[in-house]
Chains A and B, each alone.
Chain A
Amino acid sequence: MSPALTVFVKECRESLRDRRVLLNSLVLGPLLGPLLFLVLMRLVVGRELEKAEQPLPVVVIHGERAPELITALRQMGLEEKPPVADAELAVREQRIDLALRVAADYGADWRAGQPAQVELIYDSSRREAHGDVERLRGMLESYSRRHGALRLLARGLSPAIATPLVVASRDTATPQARGALLFAMLPYMLVLTIFIGGIWLAVDSTAGERERQSLEPLLINPVPRDRILLGKLLATAAFSLASLTLGLLAFLLVGHFMPTEELGLSLALGPHFIAVALPMLVPLVLLICIAQILIAAFARTVREAQTYLGLAQLVPLIPSIVLSVLPVKAQLWMYAVPLLGQQLALMRLLRAEPVAAIALSLSAAATMLATLAVFALTRRLYESERLAIST
């Protein structure tokens, strides 16, 4: 067995026996991202969407006076409740939230082309009914506008005459916009599973070995240090990759519970996504793991290493934020930037858009090159005298 393989097997065996490592790398790491994502998605957009979708229960009084109106409202989501005797009293006593009363001369006015009256009965001091009132008002207004336009057309006039001003609302906090922002965070969540999967082994196998005074005996063996480093890198990457794989599977499951259709987003989180994303991310796994080992070897203690690596987890946030704030059009050179390239490709894959083979190759080649560079740097650190000396 080659020395690197020996180290790899030993590191894996030792880590598999550590409950903390298992919990972090194989449970917390893969599940944290998807769960966070699901919870955020539900919290931020889910509730409002659900409300907008649900039928709107309204007590309708004298609905028979305006059958056309009621039919139209029903199509817009109104759920007719049986009338009550005294609507005002019922609302005041909070027995009902909202009532709609059609005036007695509604039919006559409508036919005469006069403004026909309907009444909304509600209590404006009751906040929770506010959304329902607005919704019903909106339905009524849209019905009114539609028929107003029809009447103008019937008289040979453009409906535009009656709309001198158009107010277009661009609420940046709409569920859709917030959903898209979260959506842009999804690649980061995936990259995070790579980080969390490798962090324990990276710390444990370098800073940890030094702190527990087992690094000096290890390095006295007749094995070149880069072999030992390679073995440790492979073990770290194996756990990281396992975490990523489990994370992808978790996202696949979570994808079913996400209100993506309501948001007008299509999340292509299927088996195809995994089949492309997983091999695409392997070079990034290696890069992140060797960077973690470098940082852990640089730190003097385990605690210090954990602090640094905790901060390092924020680095992949940068491309995510840039991508979500600045809707830049992906240029080919961006794929040559490790992290950014993978995140761009992930976004495209999630939208079920094809990623050009050249972009994928460029991303893989650039990331591997960066991996080799960091490996060379870490190797120099590994070969320094101070590495093994614990005190």
Chain B
Amino acid sequence: MSVRPIAMPQAASPLHDRPSARRLLEIDWILLITTLLLIGYGLVTGYSNTMEDRTFTGDVGQQLLRGVLYAVIGVAVMSIVALVDHSWLGTFAPVIYLGTLGLLAIVLVVGPSTLGATRWVTIAGFKFQPSEFAKVFMVVVLAKWFADRNVRSPFTLLGGLAILAVPVGLVFKQPDLGTSLVFLGMFFGLAFVAGARLWQLTAIAAAGAAALPVVWGSLREYQQARLVVFLDPYSDPQGAGWNIIQSLIAVGSGTLTGKGLTAGTQSPLGYLPIAESDFVFSGLAEDLGFVGAAILFVLYLVLLLSALRIAHRSRDAFGTYLAGGVATMLAFQIVVNVGMAISLMPVTGIPLPFISQGGSSLISICFALGALQSISMRREVKVLG
């Protein structure tokens, strides 16, 4: 039994990297179907949320159309990225890195401030959240960094950390604590997949823990309150604990089968803050109950395990690290968002993949999944006989 790459040697340019029929068959169908199901799930819950929002004054159909448009763009982006050999991503990693830093810097300079944070820029009439793309792009950059170096060397690890530090700092300054944490979680996941020595990872984690008081001091008061209050939301039910209590009530009141789509009361009456993004899971659990949430979990798990399988089968180190990084990043986002909604984690505003409304999140994830499909199509396969 032997294994051989189905991939051709890297083409002269991404534009010359033509797909072959054989390669298309090697798409990870499970991942693709799961992706489409999740996008569909997101459209349904998004529609339900819009219907429930009595303060929403726009056209519900148009809102749904916007969701569909994002989905179409996402799928298109995913297809294009899948067709291009993922190695090209590695090749352009330095450009991607500089572009990411540029985008993040622009947000800080020109972005409007909402709710005390500056996260958006408007490009051609579309609200665009660079930090969402930054997460995916930094997976690419770090994967390339580790792939080209000896991962077991502490310098590689520290170098990667240094590369990450700049965007993390920019995001932290928005301030967007949640995304900063996702970056760090993704870094450890990626380094772990890449085979970094455990003691080195542990040492970095320990050093980070030692630096926590400094970080804590640099947090704004509301961030500190949100981080602590999840331990006992009822200590300040009208203030910092409000979001958590209302979210728990929404989730709990969904019971086994939920109140039905568009029939929830917590989100429409405004008890769920930021019901369309940060606390979107609470609205879903209220509408569709435990069953609906469990279906979502299963889809997520299939998606994540598929990503890990792609990492396992990748032709090259860059592909493995990229897939591992995407998997851990998505897992980290899901767990933090859901954990926040059910009071297992502190409240940090990060979107729930596929379910939260917003084109930036969906399109950036589609970009990452396109890269995964690209890796899958260019993997080494068993050849029988």
Same complex? no
